[in-house]
Amino acid sequence: MTKPRPTESGPPIEPVYGPDALAGWDPADRLGDPGAYPYTRGVYPTMYTGRPWTMRQYAGFGTAAESNARYRRLIEHGTHGLSVAFDLPTQMGHDSDAPIASGEVGKVGVAIDSIEDMRVLFDGIPLGEVSTSMTINAPAALLLLLYQLVAEEQGVPAERLTGTIQNDVLKEYIARGTYIFPPQPSLRLTADIFRYCRAEIPRWNTISISGYHMAEAGASPAQEIAFTLADGIEYVRTAVAAGMEVDDFAPRLSFFFVARTTLLEEVAKFRAARRIWARVMREEFGARDPKSMMLRFHTQTAGVQLTAQQPEVNLVRVAVQGLAAVLGGTQSLHTNSFDEAIALPTDKAARLALRTQQVLAYETDVPATVDPFAGSYAVESLTDLVEEAAVDLMRRVEDLGGAVAAIEHGFQKAEIERNAYRIAQETDAGERVVVGVNRFQLAEEEPYEPLRVDPEIETRQRERLARLRSERDARAVEAALTELRKAAEGTSANVLYPMKDALRARATVGEVCGALREVWGSYVPTEAF
């Protein structure tokens, strides 16, 4: 008999599965119908048989004008929704002319310093007709408000705006590090966003609770969904504690996961995540609205599995990963470009990534039936395996006092680092094959010309900021920032309203975040135990 191959989560995949694998298994309890509790088989009854998932392409680099040109081309090629990448200074609430931003302006995403940049970013793009996802966390409220202000200038009412802000700051403390404020004021800001969007932008998804970045840092599939759902529970508790009814905000929650090349385990992961979340929302929080129990999610293929060696092979990896996401029932999908392990994607690479999704949607028969793997001995067994491992990790988080307390103990970070070390050891030993890296190498790599960001972008952004500050009404800006500080000092006011006034007065992202830093302070991480 063949030796069982370990899953990414640890326990092995058996060489053969049969009916005994599902002995004592109740399909009604664990599966249900598509679009019905516990949503194992998908959140909608028809899934892709009526229309495909939303095809997004994550893009943004250099200046707002360059990113705008890329967005227009992607829309022409058939992209259904935009997904905005921001540079590191923007993600951490710094202006492009701040000393700490030196060398990073426009490098991993687009630089947005003020409403002037946001206008350029979406110039000529009808915001009432596109769905926009913004990968922004600590300063998510600012970027959402800038988007709303630009929509108002276009004459688009807020109730027509659709999209998502990532707005998941808890995972920043675990895996990414682009936090600004300590956890408690960050959670207060999240609750304010929930309230604001319910009143002002009702079709907007207020948070995309992310396991993707944990997976990129080394989390196993079980860890990815366990720590993500634990963060989701913390956000729900925060909103409920702030006086909101669970069914008033939970239908707008969404999630963000990775899709790896381990196709069967990834499909099982998505199914397990839906089942766990439905149970938590119904049993712990008493949700009655079916939409509150639906785990709707966006998927991105695994950037960490892309290789700089033989980069064209990444096209194959991304196709397999995209298929895993589709078979797992994703609501929207971003497929990585094959050259992202080298640099920002070229236009051709981005177009090929989109074409990968279009082949899956229109040339395969996968979308023709809802949940193709339902009843599979292997996939249902793996779903149970991943669910069991994830629930055990969630209990350990609860034993520490919940997601924030576990973060402060360094628990999630330490668990992820241990798993990442295990994967690295297996790869170094050749036990885990990475094509082109530790097997099937080339004696000499073929040359590849990557996309390069113009180093003068930083200079131009500094000049734009200087011009903005000289032309705006400085007194109006300071008055608006003063009102923002007052709201942040209290506990009852929603800080998004004075924040919007400040941004409308042409305060910069760095100035608004700076005003909040004065009141809330900055987060200093705890070392993992």
Instruction: Reduce the DSSP state of residue 189 to 3 states and report it.
Output: helix
Instruction: Reduce the DSSP state of residue 100 to 3 states and report it.
Output: helix
> Would you say 118 and 112 are in contact if contact means Cβ atoms under 8 Å apart?
yes
What are 107's strand-pairing partners?
Answer: none
Of 484, 331, 391, 375, the closest CA to residue 9 belongs to 391
Residue position matching structure tokens 């944990």: 214
User: Dihedral, CA atoms, 148, 152, 154, 160, nearest 10 degrees?
Assistant: 70
Of 195, 173, 203, the closest CA to residue 186 belongs to 173
d(CA 482, CA 476): 10
What are 299's strand-pairing partners?
Answer: 257, 333
d(CA 243, CA 191): 10
- The structural domains of the chain, with segments of one domain joined by +, span 5-360+371-428
Instruction: Reduce the DSSP state of residue 53 to 3 states and report it.
Output: coil
What is the rounded end-to-end Cα distance, in angstroms, of the chain?
A: 41
Helix boundaries (H) for 126-182:
140-153, 170-171
Q: What are phi and psi of 23, to 5 degrees?
A: -60, 130
Identify the DSSP state of 175. I
> Would you say 58 and 135 are in contact if contact means Cβ atoms under 8 Å apart?
yes
Identify the DSSP state of 35. T
CATH class of 5-360+371-428: alpha beta
Of 394, 452, 454, 448, the closest CA to residue 233 belongs to 394
pTM: 0.92
Report pLDDT for 449: 82
Q: What are phi and psi of 301, to 5 degrees?
A: -65, 160
d(CA 185, CA 421): 33
- Residue by residue, DSSP assigns 399-464 as HTTSHHHHHHHTHHHHHHHHHHHHHHHHHHTTSS--BTTTBS--SSPPP-------TTHHHHHHHH
**What's the Cα-to-Cα distance from 185 to each of 159, 182, 226, 266, 377, rounded to whole Å?**
28, 6, 24, 34, 46
Report pLDDT for 383: 97
Instruction: Reduce the DSSP state of residue 162 to 3 states and report it.
Output: strand
Report pLDDT for 529: 44
Digit-by-digit pLDDT tens for the chain (529 residues) are 567 788 888 778 889 999 988 888 888 888 999 999 999 999 999 999 999 999 987 777 788 999 999 889 888 888 767 889 999 999 999 999 999 999 999 988 999 999 999 999 999 999 999 899 999 999 999 999 999 999 999 999 999 999 999 999 999 999 989 999 999 999 999 999 999 999 999 999 999 999 999 999 999 999 999 999 999 999 999 999 999 999 999 999 999 999 999 999 999 999 999 999 999 999 999 999 999 999 999 999 999 999 999 999 999 999 999 999 999 999 999 999 999 999 888 889 989 999 999 999 999 999 999 999 999 999 999 999 999 999 999 999 999 999 999 999 999 999 999 999 999 999 999 999 999 999 999 998 888 887 777 889 999 999 999 999 999 999 999 999 999 999 999 999 999 999 999 999 999 999 999 999 999 999 988 665 4
**What's the Cα-to-Cα distance from 29 to each of 26, 112, 275, rounded to whole Å?**
5, 48, 10
d(CA 354, CA 341): 17
Of 232, 238, 247, the closest CA to residue 277 belongs to 232
Report pLDDT for 181: 97
Helix boundaries (H) for 284-376:
290-293, 313-327, 347-362
Report pLDDT for 504: 98
Dihedral sign, CA of 493, 496, 497, 503? positive
